[in-house]
Structure 1
């Protein structure tokens, strides 16, 4: 006698009630809205902090130590062109020290180029000379200067003694391993008249137009 096979009826899928699906949709929307509000508040707080430390340029910056009123630490470093240059060489003149990240930071070299292209404005602002300092070897700096066709002295500080003396290595993207983007104006008497560190968190500005930098210099410089 043949066995009779019974085919089990497929169980119908239980659909979620329409009210449950709608409720979940509203919960998801509310969660997204909360996240957006939190992100906006974080962004707004960041903008408020940026504006609080932005000078006439609108670029966020701080003034590290040693700052205005302090005697500038002396130094003698090798330039990319093979000359030994000392801060004492500029006694009697106002010199703008520009600490920068070095070979891996093309905007830093663009900054030097922009300074040279705006030399008349820099001189009119009372700056007699510009000297850049970074931590790369002098030989590599010399090659970069030649490639970029620059005339500004760029000095090598491989052991970071000068960078640390000016705490210029506290404002870069590489932690304290390299300098950031710092301008320090040293007066004819060897006293710092102005300082602006643009390379710090959260913006890490590694370039700003010379005219913007001079705007901060004009409003923040001490006599």
Structure 2
């Protein structure tokens, strides 16, 4: 303690100012420490949040993929192992009429097959070698097709008839292939909804038209994501036998 003018004081003004300065310095130091701690924690929480979001997205993707696989299994149905669906017009509806130029010359109409069971095969055309291999495989299994109740096979694609005829000669094939260059018939059957070229080309679709002109079976094999362009005829007949409607 000090005595000044007969009065007793506890602390000099200088000491008080020093203590106040030290207090402010301590407070600033504490705030700096807290800021450092907070800043060091922020990235950790940010990274954790990103990881949570990534995990959620991954789980949702797996759920989506599983649902797609389940849908594919349901669509496949017949047991061939080749994923397919059945578009529209579908089973039980009248097959849209058509008349198209044929590879062997002249024109062929669907009405020409009335009273027969005809298998329509929509395919991608000249740029798709597996599609022509498919026709060759169909020809090599004619007896199996007859045993399955198929009286005739007609293929439809979008290339000019003259080029189709040349391809048929090169491949030594005899199946009737029809030219649908403006896709009028392909669109009527929505066969151009299943190809790799978008709606510019057909995919790989089979339709069995019955004796009365009604669709008895349909299988579109060319859709995303598999884009099947060839399947063994026996596999196709497995699906036909399982899914065909009387």
TM-score tier, shorter chain, comes to 0.7 to 0.9
Which of the two has greater helix per residue? 2
Give the TM-score normalised by structure 1: 0.81
Quote the Cα distance in structure 1 between the aligned partners of 2:217 and 2:148. 12
Q: Which residue is equivalent to 1:144? A: 167
Q: Which residue is equivalent to 2:222? A: 199
**Where in structure 1 are there 5+ consecutive unaligned residues?**
1-22
Quote the Cα distance in structure 2 between the aligned partners of 1:105 and 1:134. 11
Cα 1:81–1:45 change in 2 (3 A) is: same
The DSSP-based 3-state class of the residue aligned with 2:76 is coil
Match of 2:71 among 33, 49, 59: 49
Q: Which residue is equivalent to 1:120? A: 143
Cα 1:183–1:38 change in 2 (3 A) is: same
Quote the Cα distance in structure 1 between the aligned partners of 2:188 and 2:68. 30
The structure with the larger Rg is 2
1:122-155 Cα offsets, whole Å, 9 max, x none, are 1100000000000000111011101111110000
Give 1:81 shift: 1.9
1:142-170 Cα offsets, whole Å, 9 max, x none, are 11101111110000000111111111111
Q: Which residue is equivalent to 2:91? A: 68
**1:29-48 matched pairs, under 5 angstroms:** 43-48=65-70
Quote the Cα distance in structure 2 between the aligned partners of 1:176 and 1:39. 28
1:98 equivalent in alignment to 2:129: no
Give the TM-score normalised by structure 2: 0.74
1:217 equivalent in alignment to 2:237: no
Give 1:49 shift: 2.7
Quote the Cα distance in structure 2 between the aligned partners of 1:37 and 1:118. 46
Aligned residues: 202
Q: CA RMSD in A?
A: 2.5
**Where in structure 2 are there 5+ consecutive unaligned residues?**
1-43
1:166 equivalent in alignment to 2:189: yes
Q: Which residue is equivalent to 2:158? A: 135
Give 1:80 shift: 1.5
Give 1:203 shift: 1.2
**1:10-25 matched pairs, under 5 angstroms:** none
1:68-91 Cα offsets, whole Å, 9 max, x none, are 111111111111121211111111
Match of 1:186 among 181, 200, 209: 209
